[in-house]
Chains A and B, each alone.
Chain A
Amino acid sequence: MTWLAWRQARAQTLIALSAVLVVAIVAFADGRTSTMLRMWLSVLVIVVPGLLGAFWGAPLVAAELESGSFRLAWTQDVSRVRWLALRLTVSGLAATAVAGLLSWVVTWWAGPLDHAGLDQFGSFDSRDIGPAGYAAFAFVLGVLCGVLLRRTVPAMAATLVGFTAARVAFRLLARPVLLPPVSAALPLDPATTGYGSSGFLPIAPPPGLQPAAPSLPDAWVTSIGIVNGKGDGLTGSVLTANCPDIGHGGGGGIVNPLANGSSHVPASQGVADTMHDCVARIAATYHEVVTYQPASRYWPLQWEELAVFVAAALLLAVACAWRVRRIG
């Protein structure tokens, strides 16, 4: 029986493994210095689990329902749930192995550049063991979409949408607090604190003071805030009361972000002095609070990420079995 499940997953698995091999050869042949190649390989590791879910998971049951071959497969002496469980296991392990192997190759290749970057959390999503968990999850999600929608193409689309949503939601909402972040208080430095807003339109927050991030090599800074002794945040009214001119008048700017060399225009001395005085007044009662995941949390977070996505895959597998049993 395992032979049969493997027979039905064999061709696609061998093709995918060959593709990983080609990627490895191309990457190492190119040397290990290109940051552009590093970026594309990271993108590859991030999208491959979703593609495995859409192209392997979604058709697993949906294609059989469409072609009618489920009438052959589900009327044998082996029950349809047992057969599904076996196919989920074999193809799911294949998908997990392909994504895990690709991630391992890319992690190995990018090692020197990653170490030099001192930003291990910047490539957290596309290195080490996490991607294997994403692939297991995406695959079973694809199977479930196929079982629910019963048609391959809509199931593939739903898989991509669902997988992306799950990943983004987990990244934004769960990962930063999966382990309680460490927080550190430091004085507000008038020399390195600026004014402005960071974020994407239309959800960019209103402009405010922007303290520089502290030097925490390989740590993941999850938030930077300004609070007073009682823990209250710096409000806009406190800011304008201390610095009536802030946000008005000329500041620095970026003339041409695409030009090489110095394209940053410093603010005039007068504006810089005003800003410095303003921050110094606020720093008398307010300080900077940074929350972060220390560098040593990298591996615990990788393992937790893997565990969470594999556990989710197992839950979805149970849902698949439950639904398949009830078809008809």
Chain B
Amino acid sequence: MSIGLQRIQGWFRKLSTYDSSARASMRLNSSALSSTFRRRFPILVVIAIAVVLFGFFYLAPLILLLRTSFWKYSPGVIPGYMVPAFTLENYFQALTGTYYDYVILTLRIGLVSTVAAVLTSYPVAYMIARWKNHETLKKVLLTTMICSFLVGSMARVFAWYSMLTGAGFVNAILVLAGLQKIRFIGTELAIEICQTQYLISLATLSLIAPLKNIEPSLQEASKSLGADEVRTFISVTLPLSLPGIVAASLICFAVTVSSFVTPMVLGAGGILMVSNIVYTRFLEISNYPLGSAFAVILLLTSFVSMYVLEKLLLLRFRV
């Protein structure tokens, strides 16, 4: 997940290449590095601390995880119920049969929540970023998004739980409207609703900057050339905000496929996502190799989706 975030930060950097202050600071850095060792020393210390921390607490566990994912699960063997070996058995297991369904389910929930959230967020972010008037409404929207983003995941999940139970608010409304009650808890839908609500705040906040960065004169140019509002949006605004949309989608997708608390509570045991599988493999049945394999698959899924989206975008839209 945090590698994902770095990737996205890189994205944002790429998007802001034309930022002259960023360029200036890059120049500053390089000139500092090429000067005498005395001047370089403090920087090297700082870099060393970062490298050690990153290596120890991030890279090393990751490598261990990768190694474990190729080991053989052997119930009864002390310690750790596993033996060092090189086997792809865990990956086969994870990607076939019942376990495979969990991977697909996780990806589906990620996709549905991301699409729903980005589609909802775009107009909201557009309003906040580009409307010239309605200052109060814009402030209210922005504050709502920030608040909703900052609510703790436990509070959010249990709030939705109480809303979605049989006696909850949503079903009460359904009954009042003369409709059938729906069983939400223990279904995919409940997880998607809760995730989408969280992702809307996340996506809106990350879409505001890219939308603000589109020169108003580009839209005006489009209109002066005979395009109405809709054509201007399709031909100018949308393609120019596409990098922002992709970045937002990547964050949303990565956050969702790795979500843990939401499926645990709202899935009520009926729905398990990959994180929950990883959790139970490690902490309940001590199948470390299979748990590791799932964790690696989750990580790779994030990487691959980012890579593919970025490549597609670079090819298609030259941004």
A, B bound = no
